[in-house]
């Protein structure tokens, strides 16, 4: 889902929420389980808000939460910031 423009008078702003899911086959999971690498399906969510500071400059903070396929690893929370300058 992506929303863009005319949000409280901020025509250059944008907002998005995304979800992904990657299913691994049971055969693949069983194969890697034999070498002691238990797996699960992968899923995650991403949220960002683009601040259009000017028509040529945007700053976008981003947050992602990802559950990795290897059961030995915990769910990751990843934050970031992106800056875009358009000439």
Domain ranges of the chain: 2-85
Per-residue pLDDT tens over the stretch 43-56: 999 999 999 999 89
* Region 58-72 average pLDDT: 94
Per DSSP, the three-state class of 30 is: helix
| Mean pLDDT in residue range 59-82 | 94
Cα–Cα–Cα angle for 67, 70, 74, rounded to 5 degrees? 50
* Segment 10-39, tens digit of pLDDT: 788 889 999 999 999 999 999 988 898 899
Find, among 31, 2, 3, 22, the residue nearest to 66 by Cα: 22
């Amino acid at each position: 889902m992506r929303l863009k423009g005319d949000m409280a008078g901020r025509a250059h702003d944008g907002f998005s929420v995304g979800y992904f899911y990657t299913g691994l086959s049971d055969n693949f999971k069983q194969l890697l389980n034999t070498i002691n690498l238990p797996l699960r399906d992968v899923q995650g969510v991403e949220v960002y808000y683009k601040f259009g500071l000017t028509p040529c400059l945007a700053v976008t903070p981003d947050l992602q939460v990802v559950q990795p396929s290897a059961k030995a690893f915990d769910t990751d929370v990843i934050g970031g910031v992106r800056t875009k300058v358009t000439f």
